[in-house]
Amino acid sequence: MVMKKRKNCSFCTRPEIQERIIIKNKFAFAFPTNIPITQGHTLVAPVRCVSSFDDLTRGEVRALFLMRKRIVNALKRSFYAEGFHFAWNEGAVAGQSVPHFHLHIISRKKGDSGITKYEPRKFLYRPGSREPSPEKELQAIAKHVRDSLK
């Protein structure tokens, strides 16, 4: 497999990222982010430069998730992490600022600074009302998506 790199991708071109790699294999690499939410906030990315999860091969997905597990264990030992947030942004409208897929691993423990209470509705979902959607509306949405699977 030819390892595709993009000239406009900081993960592919910035030497300081290459210098802070924690672990690397044939398909994936992990490194601390330069703007961490907590100490040890690590990114896991494929070696091949692709922007979305759906562009990854099965081998890349497997390598990314095996590396995720190794990093989690290392963060438990090195920073006494008690829990984790895992996230990726896909597409500019979803906040992806680097056009190279990457999984955020954010270690959590009591007394952390940064985002201390995870409430996705505060920053991911619709603003305003926190009222549940009517069941009829949810059923219509489920049918609409189900019909799109055909």
Instruction: Give me the active site residues, please.
Output: 102
- Using alpha carbons, select from 5, 94, 98, 95 the residue that is nearest to residue 49: 5
Q: Residue 137 is encoded by which pair of tokens?
A: 């509306």
Alpha helices by DSSP H, 80-134: none
- The β-bridge partners of 108 are 83
Helix (H, G, I), strand (E, B) or coil at 6: coil
- Count CA within 13 A, CB hemisphere, residue 125: 11
Which amino acid makes up residue 4? K
